[in-house]
Amino acid sequence: MNSSAFYDVHCHALTLSHPSFLAFTKTLRSRGLEEAYAQISSPNYLIAALFFKGGDRIRNMLSVMERDVLSIFELMEDDLAGKFSDPEDEPPIIGSGELRIGDLRFDKLVLCPLVIDFEGVVYIPSEGTYYDRPSVKPVRAQIRDVLEGIRDYRRHRPDGMLELRPFVGVDPRHYTIEELASFLDSSFVGSCEPSGLFAGVKVYPPLGFDPWPEEGEARDKVELLWSFCEARDIPVVSHCDDQGFRVVPLEEAWRITSPNLWASVLEAHPDLRLDFAHFGMQYSRPLGKGPSNEWTDRIVELMGSYPNVYADISFDGAEAEYYRWLEIYMEKQGRKGSELLAERLMFGSDFMVNLTKVSSYAEYYRIFSRSAFSDELKLRLGHDNPERFLFGD
């Protein structure tokens, strides 16, 4: 079976210059007890990555982030083409001009690299630091890097398999109303063409972004953002699991990341095209108890009420057990609920963050390909649903 494109709706082209690792480590140090709880109650995540074979997974991720954006895109394509694998490994995902998922065949791979707005993550040096000026991470620098990487990929590999449709990171707190309106207008003139425009918006609550703050200037700015996206049918991706790059207190991060706040956004903007990244996965839980599906269940409720609510399974699919869990979860929703999820869930990788759990971009695809999902369901998650999310009906 051949379809024109397979979609990875959630990946990143982050270099070491984009996030503020100093601010992140300062958060770990200043909130040690709550962070210890979050990590201890989240098995197989960051702590496991730090100690797996002496930190091989973390080093593998950093080896990707040390590259420029063009090199990251080339690495992703080359990995799927088998250029990092041994001869005895499984056949490559890309070969003979097509991408293979089971019996499915695709002519191209559409990537949606998501820019994250780290601009508000300011590192304040501790007393005694010689270079004592605060360091910031301007989002425009990351935007420039990603757009230049896309331009360079098209020049270097005009016949490459990748089609790149980036999402711009937006945090309204970093703009006045007038600046935000101007930034959005300049980012979404026309469609996503080589001139360097964007396919959608990425928001990231664990950095302190609240999708529905109290009334006032903060509410006015998010209202501008949601009205703009709804009116122009621009898709939005929001981080929605209880982990991630966090610089606010744990309970606040969970409050503003939870899908519960989005109920108010969607009530005011019912046609907003919204993807809950990671399908609301909750890793943290009281010690001795099983994981909670509260956020996932809430997303399913919102899907049932609003026609443009989706979720992606990025990062989640790093373990084969996840697909077995998801299959059972879908069956428990009954025929109607299972069909709803079959038409709203999307494939995503969360590369390169997923390297804390898998060895490679190709391995993530192989886990999906080997899952018990039917080819029809794989096609819907990897083609039909992402295409509808990005472009509408």
Specify the DSSP element, H or E, that contains 111.
strand 104-113
Kindly state the DSSP code that residue 114 receives in the 8-state scheme.
B
The position carrying tokens 């096609």 is: 379
CATH code: domain 2-391 is 3.20.20.140
Q: Is 189 exposed, middle or buried (0-12, 13-18, 19+ CB in 10 A)?
A: exposed
What own/partner pairs with CB < 8 Å and gap ≥ 24 does 358-365 have? 358/318, 359/57, 359/60, 360/79, 360/84, 361/75, 361/76, 361/79, 361/80, 362/79, 362/80, 362/82, 362/84, 362/85, 362/92, 362/93, 364/317, 364/318, 365/80, 365/93, 365/101
Give the pair of three-digit tokens for residue 34.
Answer: 């709550």
Give the pair of three-digit tokens for residue 67.
Answer: 């590259």
The neighbour count for residue 304, using CB atoms within 10 Å, is 14
**Closest CA relative to residue 73, chosen from 193, 3, 157, 197:** 157
C-alpha to C-alpha distance for 6 and 390, rounded to whole angstroms: 13
C-alpha to C-alpha distance for 321 and 41, rounded to whole angstroms: 18
Give the pair of three-digit tokens for residue 355.
Answer: 């390297």
- pLDDT tens, position by position, for the chain (393 residues)? 566 999 999 999 999 999 877 766 665 555 554 444 444 444 445 545 544 555 788 899 999 999 999 999 999 999 999 999 887 788 999 999 999 999 999 999 999 999 999 998 877 777 888 988 888 889 999 999 999 999 999 999 999 999 999 999 999 999 999 999 999 999 997 544 434 479 999 999 999 999 999 999 999 999 999 999 999 999 999 999 998 888 888 889 999 999 999 999 999 999 999 999 999 999 876 555 667 899 999 999 999 999 999 999 999 999 999 999 999 999 999 999 999 999 999 999 999 999 999 999 999 999 999 999 999 999 999 999 999 999 987
Q: Check if the beta carbon of residue 110 is closer than 8 Å to that of residue 163.
A: yes
| Residue 191, pLDDT score | 46
- pTM for the model stands at 0.92
| Residue 131, pLDDT score | 87
Give me the amino acid identity at 152: D
